[in-house]
Structure 1
Amino acid sequence: MLLCTGLPLFFMELVLGQYTSLGPNIIFPKMAPIFAGLGWGMIMVSALVSIYYNVILAWAFFYTFASFTSELPWTDCDNDFNTPECYLLQEDKVCKNMSMFYYNQTCLEPDAYCGLVNLVSLNASHCYDPNENDSLVVADGAVHRITPSEDYYRNRVLGVTGKTWEDMGGMQWELVGCLALAWLIVFACMVKGVKSSGKVVYFTALFPYVVLIILFGKGITLEGASLGIDYYFLKPDWSRLADTEVWSDAAIQIFYSLGSSYGGLITLASYNKFKNNCMSVRGRQTAVYSRRRNSSGSVHATAAG
């Protein structure tokens, strides 16, 4: 997907933007009036993605501030915001060793555990519905339980447990503040237009690799890391390549990673010099944002959409 779809589209959008010095909402109507909606569609998609990505950034800020504690709040079920469904894998293993099940921070007998969802215990691993024949249910999946990290996200960060459209609860002011901070940073990056955003790219493009290297180093030292390495590098499941969903997921990831078909590449490339080599490594850095003069000496105004 990267070689056959992503990179060709990436290069084509750089060429279109650099050659015309126009944004997507202007370039497509000039190329073919029937495609006028394509450029505006790109702008709308970019606007929507920017809005919900900033919400994700707000969550990231929330977690960043919450991590400045001696013990991370999403590692156990002992907090005020935790629900009875919160369970720890290690505690669950302890209960299973006693032929019991972990729920609400205690070990329950199979009868009591299955009874939480109006089922009857058959044995140490299965429940069944007495009102239906052949209705065996694996006990582990019979009762809805969530990990501490999911419980923290749903109940502490979002506060959505038990909420309905009729009663959506109050405002999460901490998230409001984090979202305001996210938009403030975006404003600071764009306050001087494309020139300042070009400098920001040097950080935003390189910093993720630093984080990925750190996470990789941490990940390979965790218990069970060898299983993932063995799966991906030594025993890959090549039959998955016949699954169309795998290719669909790959295409989605490539388009997100490269930013193709969102209009941003065309807009940024429109600020390149007309004769910039956008195939070279330096040329692909669309941070060469300066107005160029045309052959008559007048300033060539660029339209970024």
Structure 2
Amino acid sequence: MDLSHRKPKAIVRKARPKWQTSWDFMVVAIGYAVGLGNVWRFPQMCFKYGGGAFLVAYLLFGILVVVPLLVLEISLGQKSRSGLVKSWSEIPIFKGIAFAQFVMMLMMDTMYPVLLVWCLKFFVKSFSAELPWANCNNEWNTAACITVEQMKHNASNGTNSAATEYWKREVLNLTSSIEERGSLKSDLVMYSCILWLIFYLCTFRGIKTSTKIVYVTATLPLLLIVVITVRSLTLEGAWMGLTYYLTPRLEKLMEVSTWVGACSQVMFSNGPALGSMIVLGGFNDYHHNFWRDAFAIVIANFFTSFTAGFAVFSTLGYMATYQNTTIHEVATSGPGLAFVTYPEALSLLPLPQLWCAMFFLTLLLLGLDSQFVLLEAVVAIIMDNVRSIREHRYGRHIAQFVLFVILMLLGLPMFTQGGAYVFEIMSRYVGSGWCLFTIATCECVAVAWFYGFERYWEDIVKMTGDRWGGRIWLKVSWRFVTPTITALIVIYYLSTIEPLRYQDYIYPRWAEVVGHLISISSIIFIPGYALLTVLRTLKKEGKLTKLFRSIKTEEPENVDQENVQLKNCDSDSV
């Protein structure tokens, strides 16, 4: 049978997804930036670094560091509209930044769900007839356990609050050291499986479905925070906490640690340098107004943190008044603020189950949309760079399922009885610290010096038009202010390394080495790929001129050109 007259089957390239409306990116980006750190980490940093003085430093670094970095990352992704790796391919010698950011996002995707698992467990237990962290009648309680009512009269150094024992002895069931890993906590593993199933169902169709979900998970917690804040402000002693929160202790501004802490928090909270914003920007229309979005993200993040601070500190004031003590005595550091002090205070209110459920639902929703974006960014990078997965009908669904299973399994060590020690290492060395600031420094150097600021400004003008004053501000920021600040913080971190601690426990030296190797595992790609690129270029061309030339990008004639189907057919079928 002669089939020569038949035309070859068309090969259709799937269009790269894009936001359906101009507001989708802003909502998703704000949902990503506003996360758990706004509720438990920001108030903790304020408590540690001088209240109102910390707010000044935090806001200043938001303007000097974060906004310029967000403009850089969003515009870079929007300019190329081809994913993280291909965005940095335009500056060949700095392509390693993409791999460093990819590795860091993978580690964040492993660590961040642990916080959500804890939140989910507290949320479920909030519906108990008697809150387990409000009484001492449970199997995990010791003879030293006292309720928050008893603490008012009988507290001593030899006693533990019911909330503390619930957190340490039931939720974590903490061992004495990291060497004693203990067994897996079956309930935490179950909650982890539930969350990963939610992650998959909400993201398996890409930004088309996850964006609709984030509209809920990004806006509802903001309303809940307002409700909780209003209720907290009505508590007796709330003014004591607010005074501590808003009064600037100016002597703290003389300490370098305050400025480093403020910059670390504003970076950790808004999420630049991880690469997620580049991926999200790649889904934008070519002429999207990223200036508006960059400022909106920082402003929304600041006011969410600021409002959450009112809720937390007014509650701390209430606890201090109730126990006839000081705020320093009732406050705890780290996750304990969200999982010990705050639920303990809420247990004293009328209808405590309602307020506890509302609080932990808020934390869950804040964390979910941040995790959705981190996962979507990783999946998008894989789809952009693995053609066989991209062109297979169910390639994304299969690859995403396999990826999520692997990430879930990698997180299991943090659900053992010694898991809190592992989580502390990941928290210390992955999402914040010198590695994040190193990437931020390299981003500015790559764009402002190697690609060339003037050339990049021409690209920005093509996308959004000439913005009055924007050119001078960005030039000064990208070339000098932002990289100088981030580089100095890297130097500070590396010159003030202290023994790793979890509360009173000091980690063994090998655990600290593992932590530093975790940091290096992402950063090593930047100098490593740069060296590889230099060697390849010298071998191929004998000179390094090409390293300082980037791919010339032009404004597309049709911004929807990705939707054009590429057909492999003969001349008769054209």
* TM-score category of the 2 structures, normalised to the smaller one: 0.7 to 0.9
Q: CA deviation at 1:300?
A: 6.6
Q: Which moved more, 1:79-88 or 1:57-66?
A: 79-88
User: Hey, what's the Cα distance between the residues in 1 that align with 2:255 and 2:227?
Assistant: 32
Aligned with 2:562 (options 295, 299, 302): 299
**What pairs with 1:163-174 in structure 2 (closer than 5 Å)?**
165-166=179-180, 168-174=181-187
Displacement of 1:299 after TM fit?
Answer: 2.4
- The change in CA–CA distance for 1:194 and 1:152 in structure 2 (over 3 A counts) is same
| 1:263 Cα offset (Å) | 0.7
Query: Contact conserved, 1:75 with 1:148, CA < 8 A, in 2?
Result: yes
Following superposition, the deviation at residue 281 of structure 1 comes to 5.1
Cα distance, 1:87–1:247 mapped onto 2, change above 3 Å: farther
Q: Which has the larger radius of gyration?
A: 1
Match in the other structure for 1:239? 251
Aligned-pair distance for 1:243? 2.2
1:149 alignment counterpart: 163
SS at match of 1:30: coil
Shift in CA distance, 148/249, structure 1 to aligned 2, threshold 3 Å: farther
Aligned to 1:263: 275
Residue 275 (structure 1) shift = 1.2
Q: d(CA) in 1 for partners of 2:563 and 2:144? A: 63
Distance in 1 separating the partners of 2:136 and 2:177: 21
- Structure 2 unaligned regions, length at least 5: 1-60, 298-372, 374-554, 565-574
Residues 298 and 274 from structure 1, CA distance in 2 versus in 1: closer, same or farther, beyond 3 angstroms? closer
Partners of 1:77 and 1:86 within 8 A in 2: yes
**Equivalents in 2 of 1:60, 1:4: separation in Å?**
33
Residue 189 of structure 1 contacts residue 196 of structure 1 at CA under 8 Å; is this kept in 2?
Answer: yes
Which one has a larger percent helix, Structure 1 or Structure 2? 2
Any conservation in 1 of the 2:62–2:266 contact (CA below 8 Å)? yes
Gap change, CA 1:191 and 1:254, over 3 Å in 2: same
Aligned twin of 1:77: 136
State the match for 1:125 in structure 2: none
* Secondary structure, counterpart of 2:121 in structure 1: helix
Verify the 8 A CA contact 2:67 2:294 in the aligned structure 1. no
Kept after mapping to 1: 8 A contact 2:145/2:160? yes
Q: Following the alignment from structure 2 to structure 1, what is the Cα–Cα distance between the partners of residues 223 and 194?
A: 23
> Pairwise mapping of residues 198-209 of structure 1 onto structure 2 (< 5 A)?
198-209=211-222
CA contact (8 A) 1:28 1:35 kept: yes
Looking at structure 2, the residues matched to 85 and 244 of structure 1 have their Cα atoms a distance apart, in angstroms, of 40
After TM superposition, give the deviation of residue 89 of structure 1 in Å.
Answer: 5.0
CA distance in 2, matches of 1:40, 1:181: 30
| Deviations 1:179-234, CA, capped at 9 Å, x for gaps | 1111111112211112222222212321221221122123223332111122233x
TM-score of the superposed pair, with normalisation by structure 2: 0.40
Tell me if the contact between 1:155 and 1:161 (Cα under 8 Å) persists in the aligned partners: no
- Identify if the C-alpha distance between structure 1 residues 182 and 22 changes in structure 2 by more than 3 Å, giving closer, same or farther: same
Give, in whole Å, the separation in 1 of the partners of 2:86 and 2:93. 13
Report deviation, 1:169.
3.2
- Alignment match, 2:112: 53
Deviation at 1:269, TM superposition (A): 0.5
Indicate how the Cα distance of structure 1 residues 64 and 255 shifts in structure 2: closer, same or farther if over 3 A, else same: same
State how 1:1-305 maps to structure 2 within 5 Å.
1-31=61-91, 33-95=92-154, 102=156, 140=157, 143=158, 145-161=159-175, 165-166=179-180, 168-233=181-246, 235-280=247-292, 294-295=556-557, 298-299=561-562
Moved over 4 A (4+): 161-164, 281-286
Q: 1:91 to 1:15 in 2, by over 3 A?
A: same
Partner-residue secondary structure (3-state), 1:160: coil
- Secondary structure, aligned partner of 2:63: helix
Contact in 1 for aligned 2:81/2:282 (Cα 8 Å) = yes
* Secondary structure of 2:562's aligned partner: coil
The percentage of counterpart residues that share the same residue type is 28
What is the root-mean-square deviation in Å for CA atoms of aligned residues? 2.9
What TM-score does the superposition give when structure 1 sets the normalisation length? 0.72
Which is further off, 86-95 or 272-281? 86-95
